[in-house]
Each structure stands twice: as C-alpha cells, then as structure tokens.
Structure 1
Amino acid sequence: MMNSIYLYLLSPLHTGGTTQEGNLLGIARESHTNLPYIPSSTIRGKLRATATEQSMRFRLFGTDLKESQQLEQGDIWIGDASLLWLPISSLSHSVIWVSCPMLLRRWLRSQGNMSNVPAEYSCNFSNGKAAVYLKDAILKAESLKQWQDWKVFVPQTAESSGINRVLVLPDQHCVTLIQMSLWRQVKIKLDEHKSVDGGFRYEEAIPPDTLMYFSWGTTSQANGTAKQSHADFQKLLTDNQILQLGGQESLGRGFVQQWA
C-alpha cells in the first residue's frame, strides 16, 4: 500500500546534483524530465536522524555498519519527492502556481485516483478578459479555460491554503518556466584579507511555497512488524512536522512543513 506525504517549502531548498556545469552548482534533477526533485535518500536520512530510540530506528530504517556488524533492511520504504505545484511570479497576478498534465497525472497515479487530468491552460482566476503575464510569457485571455474543480488537485488543508491561483501549462512550457523560476544564489569565496578569491559561483534551489509530495509504505520483508512499524512511522511524522532537508542548513535553507 502506498501512502503520501506532502511537503510545503518554507524556504529555498537545495539538494546537490550529480554534475556541476561551469560556475553553476545545480540541484538534483530527474534524468528524463530535467525537473527538480528531492532524492528519497535525503528524506530517509533526515527522518532516520529524528528517530532517537535505537530499536525503533533499526526496525524502521535498518542498520548500518557504524551501528551494527550485521546489515538489516528496515520495514519502511520512502520514495523520491516530486513537484506538484511551483510558484511563478506574475506581473498581472502577483504569484501563480503552475503544474502540467504530466505532473498531475503522476500525482493521480500515486493516489490511486482515476480522475481526468485538466486540459492545458486551465486556470481558476481568469475572467476571460485580461491576459496573464508569466515571466517572459504572455497568455492571451481567449486561450485560458475556466477550471471549476481545481480544488481536487490541491490538498485542501491549512498548510496549502495559500495556493489559490493555479494554472495548468503544457508539459514543455511548464518545464521551461520552472527552470526559469528556480532560485539562483550568487556565492563568492574570500581569502584571509577578505578579498574575492576566484570567481563567482551560482547555486540553484527550489523556491519557497512550492508544493511537493512523496510516497512511502512498508516493505515486503516486514514480517509480523508491518502494522507496528506503520504506526511508529506515522507518529514520527506527526512529531516532526517541520523538517530541514538538503544542504545549506546554516543559511536556513531547506525548511519544509510536512503532512499526510
């Protein structure tokens, strides 16, 4: 059985990528879409660190060589965190959260939901008279479609209540705008004389107010302990509703609010 946990980003989140291009330190991306994601190992490592009781930590997450001479698999599996809605600045509407059929279809499958994916350019805020400005893109009013049941695709909780202007873009346009909307922080290295040592470096991050989610469940090897492990993991989540994921912890990066 798959269960879902939502993550609402409270601050920019940086998860290190596998490559570095020039002076840009990228973030983890899906190889087939190039979209940002949070690796399951990042989430698992943070949750494992919050489990202070050793016996429960071993049962949920398994052992490692630092803690035990015998490696054992834990009862809980955790998936990668995917994007659901990402905020983009708009000259006409302040902030608009965007997604695309591919991302919404993926989310529906994880929920076991057979609802139809909304049509491209569906939105819940256009009156059909004014154009929508997104970064360098302009969407004509006549191209937008009124979206009545948009709340089905946005968790109706206090944590995500701020997501009130949503727009479904074509897959290729959504990927481009998400790429343009990632945070890029300029960093420099100073020597002992507080002079710039080398050139500038840019670090990417997923912006705050992004909504993501990941799936989790119990492994097939959780013989006789699956029910207890399921309950213990849910309690662990309840006791740690604010998590700090990824790097740059000393800069206040990576704070997320999570809920089921």
Structure 2
Amino acid sequence: MSQSTAMLGLFTETSLHAGTGQMLGVIDLPIQRESHTGWPCVYGSAVKGAMRELAEKRGHKKTWVEDVFGPEMQNASDHAGALAITDARLLLLPVRSLTGHFKWLTCPAVLQRWQADCRRLGLPDGNDFSVTNLIENNKALVSQTLKEQDIFLEEFRFKTQPRPEIDKVIRSVAKLIGREPNEIDKALKSQLTVVNDNMFAHLSRFATPVNAHIAIDNETKTVKTGALWYEESLPADTLLYTGLVAQASRKDGNKKANEVLKHVVDDLFSDEHPYLQLGGNETVGMGWCCVKVLHRGN
C-alpha cells in the first residue's frame, strides 16, 4: 500500500491547555478552537511537536525521527516528513450535571464528522450507527439501558430519550478510550448524552473551565500589581482524536509506509506506557493524555 493510516484516541487524564496566545477578551489565555464551529481542538502542529519531542526523549532521534517527522528547522528544505497528523478533534466533552455525575456530551454533527474521518482513513469503526439531527433543544438522547428522566447540564434542563442507536455509538467510541473495556462501557452507558448541534456549540463554548492565576511578590508575599490572568482549559476526561497518514520515507526511501506508521504506534505508544503530554503548563502536570491506537483489525 502507498499509505498506512490509523487514528489515535486522546483521553485527557489531567486538564489540558493548548493555547492560542493572549486575547483582548475576558479570558486572557483561551484554548484553541475551530474558527467555523467554535469547538475546542488541538492543532495538528501541536500534536506533531509533542509526538516528536516524545520520540526524541525515548532516544529515537538518531534512528527514525527524521524519517517520520522531517529534519530540524535549519534543514527543513532537505525533505518532508513521512507522517501527516490532523488536528485533534473533539468527540466527547465532560459537562457538569446538577442531577448526578458529570455527563459526556456530544452531538450529531460531531459524530457524523467522526464517521467521515473513519471512512477517509479506511477504518470500519463509526460506520454502524446513525444519529438523527432532529433533536429538540430540551431533549437529550441516552443509552436504552437508562430510564426517561429530567437531567440538568450546567443551567439547562433536558428530558432524556433512551435510544438503541446510542448503544451502537458507545460500542464504537469505547475503542478510542484506553481503559478496561467493561469499565468504560459501563461508564459510557450511564454518562454519554447526545444533544442537538446548537446546544452542544453553546456548552462547548461556555462550559469549559476558566481558572484565575496570580503571581506573588517574593518580598511582600502579596499579589504582584497587574499579575492576575484567566486561563481556559479542557477538563480531564475529555476525548479527542487525531488521524495519522503515513507514506514511504522521503529521506532516502528506505522505509515503507507501514514501517513509518509502526514506529509511531509501537515505539511511542506501547501498552506499557501509552501516554502523550500535550499543550502548555507541563511542569504543573497538565496535558497528560492516554493514547489508544485504532487501525484496521482493531
């Protein structure tokens, strides 16, 4: 094959701040978002940089890093890398629920785009279900194992509608989360909630955590003048995914596409340590993601 493809599920185990720089709004340091939808994301360049850094830390710099990711900046004109990495797109967003544990929120547009990404990468997952776009503002679709009830997400009240197609969604989504299958299946059945696209757009914009930060003057032990800022992040238990498309090495052609992809899925994300740290504030433990590889044959 001329190309080899895979998808990485990125399940945040700590909060993640992939920032865009300072803004002139209420939030000084917002997270990265898609311009047309407003949904949170992590740009592909940030994902690629984090993966390259991990490969170098693991001691692969002198073996296959340049084949896969390309040469250093000063030699960038020599050849391109052999691995294409897409933006990390949002699939499940944890949202506070006033009637119980948090809910994993998604919407038809998010699920349909994930299905399209699976088809483009040649993956069978995500193609065995269909979720209607016609969901009322005050309704939410849940697993058929649950009862009809009223739930609150942030300040909004919803009437749940148990549907069998949500259980099909759960079976597909669970393959992207690197936890014990029975554990994650049980959690998704109780917490996965599908709302309409407009409601999801609102909650994904205004339900993300925003934390205040200060700097302390070492002499006075009080807040430095002007040293107050607000930083947005994605909460722990967010599920993102990114697509990988590998081609033969452009360095000298000695690695085929499947060998390039194998370096990433086997050498970087083994079962013993399937983790990637994304975004900023790594020294305070932010950005740790559990990585699950999804490819043909999963």
Please name the residue that 2:64 is paired with. 56
How far off is 1:220 after superposition? Answer: 6.8
Please name the residue that 2:242 is paired with. 214
Say if 1:219 and 1:174 are closer, same or farther in 2 by CA, change over 3 A.
Answer: same
Please name the residue that 2:51 is paired with. 47
The correspondence of residues 113-132 of structure 1 with structure 2, limited to 5 A, is 113-119=126-132, 120=135, 121-124=140-143, 126-128=146-148, 130-132=149-151
Q: Which residue of 196, 204, 210 corresponds with 2:232?
A: 204
Please name the residue that 1:33 is paired with. 37
User: Letter of the aligned partner of 2:130 in structure 1?
Assistant: V
Task: Give CA-to-partner distance per residue, 1:46-94, whole Å, 9 cap, x none.
Answer: 111122222301101110245x485321111111101111111112231
How far off is 1:250 after superposition? Answer: 1.2
The correspondence of residues 231-242 of structure 1 with structure 2, limited to 5 A, is 231-239=262-270, 240-242=273-275
Mapped partners of 1:115, 1:123: distance in 2:
17
Say if 1:158 and 1:43 are closer, same or farther in 2 by CA, change over 3 A.
Answer: closer
User: Letter of the aligned partner of 1:117 in structure 2?
Assistant: S
User: Letter of the aligned partner of 2:279 in structure 1?
Assistant: G
Calculate percent identity across the aligned residue pairs.
25
Q: Which stretches of structure 1, 4 residues or more, deviate above 3 A after TM superposition?
A: 68-71, 113-116, 219-224
Residue 180 (1) aligns with residue 206 (2): yes
How far off is 1:117 after superposition? Answer: 2.8
How far off is 1:180 after superposition? Answer: 2.7
Mapped partners of 1:169, 1:93: distance in 2:
17
CA contact (8 A) 2:54 2:276 kept: no
SS across alignment from 1:21:
coil
Unaligned runs of 5+ in 2: 120-125, 294-298
CA contact (8 A) 2:31 2:233 kept: yes
Normalising to structure 2: TM-score of the pair? 0.78
How far off is 1:224 after superposition? Answer: 5.5
How far off is 1:34 after superposition? Answer: 0.8
SS across alignment from 1:86:
strand
Q: Which residue of 190, 195, 218 corresponds with 2:222?
A: 195
Mapped partners of 1:35, 1:22: distance in 2:
18
Residue 2 (1) aligns with residue 5 (2): yes
What is the RMSD of the two structures over their aligned residues, measured on CA atoms?
Answer: 2.2
How far off is 1:208 after superposition? Answer: 0.3
User: Letter of the aligned partner of 1:110 in structure 2?
Assistant: D
Unaligned runs of 5+ in 1: none
Please name the residue that 1:259 is paired with. 292
CA contact (8 A) 2:44 2:87 kept: yes
Please name the residue that 2:122 is paired with. none
CA contact (8 A) 1:4 1:215 kept: yes
How far off is 1:17 after superposition? Answer: 1.4
